[in-house]
Amino acid sequence: IQELLKGETAGQLRFCSNRPHPNHTLKDKNHFRGLYEDGYEYSSIDGNNRSTTLAQFFNNEFSIEFEGEKKVFYNKCNLEKGETNLEEKHRTTLKNVTVSIVVYFGVSRDQCAASFRSHNQSTKLKNQEILNSYPYAISSWIREEGNKLVKKKDDKPVSVTIPGFTLENHRLENH
């Protein structure tokens, strides 16, 4: 968030469509069809942390240290914690951030995993992130359990809204 306020870019968010595609193998058809039938049109390949962080900050779920003060996005400051609202000009800067969205169609789970690893070569990935990028049954189970926990929070599917773009039913499906 601080980098965006300094004029940096948000980077790319990468998704794949869960719509069944003729290029899919039987295993991929079953995987993507299941997600699509459950109401998840897209799965996150990369950028899940960025999109979640932006949405949480816009929803005042945490404060940032900015210009020497604790700031919340707007109207939910905790004065006892020393928090204040982000100034209007800075809220406007964040609302106008351009986010590059890439959506792949007809890709396999292996291609999603390879795309994640390829686009993160310049970043030191944690071992768990590398392991989760492979479409193993245990990785899928971990994501499913994570999704259950997120859904229990308010019993609604997660929705990530970034000004100018919305992915409804966005999921913690990070191949």
pLDDT digits (tens, 9 = 90+) for 104-155: 899 988 888 888 878 777 777 677 666 666 655 555 565 566 656 544 444 4
For the whole model, what pTM was predicted? 0.62
Tell me how far apart the alpha carbons of residues 51 and 163 are, in angstroms, rounded to a whole number: 11
For residue 169, with 0-12 CB atoms within 10 Å meaning exposed, 13-18 middle and 19 or more buried, which class applies?
Answer: middle
**pLDDT tens-digit readout, 32-65:** 888 889 888 888 888 877 888 888 888 888 888 8
The secondary structure of residue 6, as a DSSP letter, is T
DSSP states of 20-70 as a string?
--TT--HHHHHHHHHHHHTT--EEEEE-HHHHHHHHHHHTTSS-EEETTEE
